[in-house]
């Protein structure tokens, strides 16, 4: 569960909220609305790795479309569930 604090509170005691963000995200509000989140660097890295690139199929080249059409799945799709940068056999 994230803590919620005002921007003014954070500016008065940044060090304490920086320490708190290591334990859980801190939602920072401005004018009563959530605006930013302070979080542990490790959480940021983990979330960044999960980010996926999206591309419209209408923007694909003929070569890319052919590569998709001719691609074959492996018999064991376990590698699809492995964390980014890891292989199921690792």
pLDDT band at 2 (very low <50, low <70, confident <90, very high): confident
Question: What does the pLDDT read at residue 86?
Answer: 56
Q: Give the three-state DSSP class for 14.
A: helix
More confident residue, 36 or 78: 36
Instruction: Work out the end-to-end distance of the chain between its first and last CA atoms, rounded to an integer number of angstroms.
Output: 33
pLDDT band at 70 (very low <50, low <70, confident <90, very high): very high
Whether residue 7 has pLDDT greater than 80: yes
Whether residue 55 has pLDDT greater than 90: no
State how far Cα 46 lies from the chain centre: 6
Alpha carbons 27 and 33: distance in angstroms, whole number: 10
């Amino acid at each position: 569960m994230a803590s919620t604090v005002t921007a003014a509170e954070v500016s008065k005691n940044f060090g304490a909220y920086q320490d708190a963000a290591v334990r859980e995200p801190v939602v920072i509000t401005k004018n009563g609305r959530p605006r930013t989140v302070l979080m542990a660097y490790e959480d940021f890295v983990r979330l960044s790795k999960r980010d996926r690139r999206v591309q419209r199929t209408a923007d694909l080249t003929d070569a890319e479309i052919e590569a998709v059409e001719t691609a074959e799945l492996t018999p064991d799709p376990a590698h699809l569930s492995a964390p980014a940068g890891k292989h199921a056999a690792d």
